[in-house]
Amino acid sequence: MGVLHWWDEQVLPRLVDAVLADATAGPWRTTVCGGATGEVLEIGFASGRNLPFYPPTVTRVLAVEPADVAWGRAQPRVTASGMPVERVGLDGASLPLPDASVDTVVSTWTLCTVPEVEQALTEARRVLRPGGALRFVEHSLAQVGAVAGVQRRIQPVWGPVSGGCHVDRDIAGLMREAGYRVELTHDGFIQGGAAKPWSWFVTGVAVPA
């Protein structure tokens, strides 16, 4: 196992779990997950931290998660949730699901990392039932020129050490290009976001146009 592979498989899932703990990410999860309903496809399930934030209207969660370490760490939360949870795939760009088979797609800080993000958005649109929606919170390319320039400059170094995370993706723009109508509820720096290259957040709902 190479050093980068070991880092991505063993270390990063644990770091992400710690960095996105409820004290930091809980309010964002409440906003995104609280509006989910029916059968939910969660892209980037990680350690299952979204589970306590889903309302009773959610009947099942289909999890896409590439990291076995993260999936293993999720099991106590899966058990505690009492909710049916099934790991259905490793890659959001290739979903083993029928067309129009889920009611909600949820992505929390995942679309920055999916290698084939355009294809993942196309797949999410394919599996959504009529009236369904993609609910998301992501860090994104800043709409402030100076910060966006920093994001683009650091990306070649940041990407390899962060499991392929991109700080220079215009997430909302990619959604629109993939055929979604996007309604943003937040588009800007997070409060007190000192690490500005990582602190431009977008959250909202994307509906197939």
Beta bridge partners of 64: 43, 89
What is residue 7's predicted lDDT score, i.e. its pLDDT? 46
Segment 140-198, tens digit of pLDDT: 999 988 899 999 999 999 888 888 899 999 999 999 999 999 999 999 998 766 668 88
Q: What is the CATH number of domain 3-208?
A: 3.40.50.150
Q: Are strands 128-139 and 200-208 parallel, antiparallel or unpaired?
A: antiparallel
pTM to 2 decimal places: 0.90
Report pLDDT for 67: 87
In whole angstroms, give the CA distance from residue 69 to residue 9: 7
pLDDT at 164 (0 to 100): 85
Residue 77: predicted pLDDT: 94
3-state secondary structure 46-113: CCCCCHHHCCCCEEEEEEECCCHHHHHHHHHHHHHHCCCEEEEECCCCCCCCCCCCEEEEEEECCCCC
Q: Which of 202, 85, 63, 206 is nearest to 135 (CA)?
A: 206
Residue 22's pLDDT is what? 54
The one-digit pLDDT tens for each residue of the chain (209 residues) are 454 454 455 545 555 555 555 556 778 999 999 999 999 999 999 999 999 999 999 999 999 999 898 899 999 999 999 999 999 999 999 999 999 999 999 999 999 999 999 999 999 999 999 999 999 999 999 998 889 999 999 999 988 888 889 999 999 999 999 999 999 999 999 876 666 888 899 999 999 99
As a whole number of Å, the CA-based R_g of the chain is: 16
